[in-house]
Chains A and B, each alone.
Chain A
Amino acid sequence: MITRVVTVQNPEGLHMRPADKLVRTATHYQCQIELERAGQIADCRSMIGLLTLGAPQGTELTLRAQGPDASMAVEAIARLFDSQFDDP
């Protein structure tokens, strides 16, 4: 299990487009990936799950992955958060 804390930096929070990118990225890996916000856990392949987190800018989320390519997945997803999902 690989764990890392990420922060939502987008001004609009984890909304439709970032969540879309997150799901697309997560589906490239075989491992289980989830995000947790204060006890609420979302599967990174579930758009609805991610949206339901309702994470605004500045929220800290715990990213967890388990499986063969877990460390690569966590790297890739953390990069997305850091780059604000390349959202315009």
Chain B
Amino acid sequence: MLELQGIAVSPGVAIGKAIVFDREGYSIARCLVSRPEAQREWQRLVEAVSKAHQVLGARGKETTESWGADLGGIFSAQQQLLLDPHVRSEMEHLIRDNLYAAEYAVSEVFAKYAAAFRKASSSFLAERAADVRDVERTLLEALTGKPTQTFNEIPLGSIVVSHDLTPGETASFDTEKVLALCTEAGGPGGHTAIVARGMEIPAVVGVGNFLHNIRSGDEVIIDGHVGRIFVSPDAPTRERYLKRRIARESIVSELSELRDLPAVTSDGVHVELMANVEFPNETQACLARGADGVGLYRTEFLYLGHDKEPTEEEHFLAYQQVLRDMQGRPVVIRTLDLGADKMGMTRPVEPENNPFLGLRSIRLSLRNPALFRVQVRAILRAASAGNCRIMFPMVTTLDEFRSAKFLLRSVADDLTCEGIRIPSTLQVGMMVEVPAAVLMLDRFIEEIDFVSIGTNDLTQYTLAVDRSNDSVADLYQACDPAVLRLIKRTQEITSEHGKSTSVCGEMSNNPAHALLLVGMGIRSLSLAPSTIPVIKKAIRSVTLGQCEAMAWRALRLGTAREVEAFLMNQLAGLVPEIVLQA
């Protein structure tokens, strides 16, 4: 049994079989065959070798024609790697004697040689490792008859283990089949964390290097409460977690009884609990958890996981579905919030030294009005299907907000001319996630209808911490007093002007943080649907006075660590059941 510690980013316990994606982004199931099948498996491999040989030959011929024999010769050499008698006899041994499936034998033998080459002292050999992997890939493709990019071919009940997951990769998962996510890299506010919470599956990130210790097919336990991972768990550990899984299921069902009760403090102060969603089908989870609406509808997934830019109709159908499903509850649609680096299909972009400070989010939209108009048109067309609000992300300057609103108006005028009705009450708001916007909020406030604080980016930009950088991820603390002051100021300015402030970052998902926010005057939180019951339970267990006392104290502390410790202590006193659950 191997026990590892990472950062817990999405709660829950999962027990399942690992599917490991290496840095090349593909994986081979660690399958065995029965003895009578071994001969057939070997035959399958022999045929694949001859097919791969032809493929390499054709590739060599093509390359020679376009680039000359010098380069084409590489493929002739790769053919020799493929036919190497040692490689062949080792694969035969693994299949006939160890009963490996052909794919498993191939990946085992080639991985061994690639590793040996990589470790070799001569750089000449180290470079050959790439040739070995190339041959391996060609052979695997010949075996399976399809490309080796298999993120969407995950077997049922898998725990996805990877160095890191890109948004596109997570978007292509079949969510029915993935039980949990676990990555070597990443931090609490990273993308894997957000996606895992959206999918309501446990996730542990920032585990550090361990992929060499785990193979596809290994049994794995992921404890998303404390961030622990067990590879090939021993019987007592397994037993313990099976019991915990059952216990957790009963707590979940207990909390679900709160579904139709409002989130009010015991002295009657109502807090609106909205849901953050990524995919239109998540509205079911929102309704099941008793969400008051959708406080943040992230639209990035329309752009990711597809090869082409989404059409206006695709946008429209997604928005319309969410608005309809939510049956008149408010739905805040946030326009594109992506970095230029993630928009591969739009146009090749110069690599940015500092993507978080680069062309992203509203900046990208304003720079590409054609792209932006498509989305805004779709939102406005869908608006009458429900209670729609529109929100611009990462607004830094008043000019940006005005430009976005100007474009919105011109699109609305076009639509009106086309005879499409747009609700006159459509509210237009902005995300507060850049400190500059907080400092200037008294100037913005007249022109905006509502504000939503994105604590993830606000924390990142206030503390100058890249939350996906493992080396500094510990500095990323939403409870840092500097961040709390910005939230407080935002809340004060908006309430002075009778406008609403919602908090939609990760902070809202943490019961102690949520109570702190209520104590600071926030009356609307937007969170992952799966955490709504816990937060509701916390709010229903306290009085406003207790929250305010908590906030008063917390705002006078000097460090994130002090705030965190104080809040944990308070939560344990006020709502012990929740603390025990974790």
**A48-B81 contact given A54-B120, A54-B125, CB 8 Å threshold:** yes
Contacts of B131 in A (CB 8 A): 16
The answer to whether the Cβ of B261 comes within 8 Å of any Cβ in the partner chain is no
**A52-B125 contact given A23-B80, A88-B70, CB 8 Å threshold:** yes
The answer to whether the Cβ of B573 comes within 8 Å of any Cβ in the partner chain is no
**A13-B124 contact given A20-B77, A20-B80, A52-B116, CB 8 Å threshold:** yes
The interface-forming segment of B83-91, B264-272, B431-439 is B83-91
Instruction: Establish whether residues A43 and B85, one from each chain, have CB atoms under 8 Å apart when the complex forms.
Output: yes
Instruction: Establish whether residues B77 and A54, one from each chain, have CB atoms under 8 Å apart when the complex forms.
Output: no
A87 CB → nearest B CB, Å: 9
The answer to whether the Cβ of A62 comes within 8 Å of any Cβ in the partner chain is no
Assembled-state Cα–Cα distance A48/B84 (Å): 7
Instruction: Establish whether residues B125 and A19, one from each chain, have CB atoms under 8 Å apart when the complex forms.
Output: no
B side interface size, CB within 8 A = 25
Instruction: Establish whether residues A19 and B85, one from each chain, have CB atoms under 8 Å apart when the complex forms.
Output: no
Per-residue interface assignment for chain B, residues 124 to 155, with 1 indicating a CB less than 8 Å from any chain A CB and 0 otherwise: 11001001100000000000000000000000
Instruction: Establish whether residues A49 and B86, one from each chain, have CB atoms under 8 Å apart when the complex forms.
Output: yes
Assembled-state Cα–Cα distance A88/B113 (Å): 28
Q: Using a CB-CB cutoff of 8 Å, which residues 13-45 of chain A contact chain B?
A: 13, 15-17, 19-20, 23-24, 43, 45
A74 CB → nearest B CB, Å: 20
Instruction: Establish whether residues A16 and B73, one from each chain, have CB atoms under 8 Å apart when the complex forms.
Output: yes
Instruction: Across the interface, name the chain B residue whose C-beta is closest to A24.
Output: B80
Q: Which among B80, B116, B121, B124 has the highest number of chain A CB atoms within 10 Å? A: B80
Instruction: Establish whether residues B85 and A45, one from each chain, have CB atoms under 8 Å apart when the complex forms.
Output: yes
Instruction: Establish whether residues A16 and B70, one from each chain, have CB atoms under 8 Å apart when the complex forms.
Output: no
A32 CB → nearest B CB, Å: 12
A14 CB → nearest B CB, Å: 9
A85 CB → nearest B CB, Å: 11
**A51-B128 contact given A20-B80, A23-B80, A45-B85, CB 8 Å threshold:** yes
Instruction: Establish whether residues A46 and B85, one from each chain, have CB atoms under 8 Å apart when the complex forms.
Output: yes
The answer to whether the Cβ of B213 comes within 8 Å of any Cβ in the partner chain is no
Per-residue interface assignment for chain A, residues 58 to 88, with 1 indicating a CB less than 8 Å from any chain B CB and 0 otherwise: 0000000000000000000000000000001
The answer to whether the Cβ of A6 comes within 8 Å of any Cβ in the partner chain is no
Contacts of B73 in A (CB 8 A): 16-17, 20
**A48-B77 contact given A54-B122, A88-B70, CB 8 Å threshold:** no
Assembled-state Cα–Cα distance A20/B117 (Å): 17
The answer to whether the Cβ of B76 comes within 8 Å of any Cβ in the partner chain is yes
**A20-B86 contact given A48-B81, A54-B124, A56-B122, CB 8 Å threshold:** no
Instruction: Across the interface, name the chain A residue whose C-beta is closest to B132.
Output: A48
Contacts of A20 in B (CB 8 A): 73, 76-77, 79-80
A35 CB → nearest B CB, Å: 14
Assembled-state Cα–Cα distance A23/B76 (Å): 11
Assembled-state Cα–Cα distance A82/B125 (Å): 23
Instruction: Establish whether residues B125 and A51, one from each chain, have CB atoms under 8 Å apart when the complex forms.
Output: yes
The answer to whether the Cβ of B46 comes within 8 Å of any Cβ in the partner chain is no
Assembled-state Cα–Cα distance A10/B116 (Å): 24
The answer to whether the Cβ of B74 comes within 8 Å of any Cβ in the partner chain is yes
Instruction: Establish whether residues A12 and B124, one from each chain, have CB atoms under 8 Å apart when the complex forms.
Output: yes
Assembled-state Cα–Cα distance A16/B73 (Å): 9
A40 CB → nearest B CB, Å: 12
Instruction: Establish whether residues B87 and A48, one from each chain, have CB atoms under 8 Å apart when the complex forms.
Output: yes
Contacts of B84 in A (CB 8 A): 45-49
B86 CB → nearest A CB, Å: 5
Per-residue interface assignment for chain B, residues 66 to 78, with 1 indicating a CB less than 8 Å from any chain A CB and 0 otherwise: 0001100110110
Contacts of A24 in B (CB 8 A): 80
B375 CB → nearest A CB, Å: 50
Question: Which 8 A-B residue pairings sit nearest by Cβ, starting from the closest?
Answer: A47-B80, A16-B77, A20-B77, A54-B122, A23-B80, A47-B84, A46-B86, A47-B81
Question: 10 extra interchain contacts, Cβ-Cβ under 8 A, other than A20-B77, A47-B83?
Answer: A17-B76, A20-B73, A46-B86, A46-B87, A47-B81, A48-B113, A51-B117, A52-B120, A54-B124, A88-B69
Residues of chain A at the chain B interface (Cβ within 8 Å): 12-13, 15-17, 19-20, 23-24, 43, 45-49, 51-52, 54, 56, 88
